[in-house]
Amino acid sequence: MFDKINLVRIANAKMPFGKYKGRNLIELPEPYLVWFSRNGFPEGQLGQLLQLTYEIKVNGLEKLIYPLTKN
């Protein structure tokens, strides 16, 4: 799950729905990701990427992802 492709994806993939629609996954607030961790992540690739984003944020590693963001 921590492969390079997924790390680049969370740096650049946009949230497709909800309050934070259009925001890069790595830019989602931690409390929003905690909510998903308690209530269940969506199915499929989005859920996997959100779960990875959650793990990165909880461990304070998001600054390692920001350089992967495309302008």
Global pTM reads 0.91
Which band of pLDDT confidence, cut at 50, 70 and 90, is reported for residue 70? confident
Question: Could you tell me the CA-to-CA distances from 6 to 19, 38, 43, 44, 45 in Å, in that order?
Answer: 23, 22, 16, 13, 10
d(Cα 39, Cα 22) in Å, to the nearest integer? 22
Mean pLDDT, range 18-27, rounded to an integer? 96
Q: What is the pLDDT of residue 71?
A: 65
pLDDT digits (tens, 9 = 90+) for 28-44: 999 999 999 999 999 99
Asked whether 13 and 25 are in contact (CB, 8 A), the reply is yes
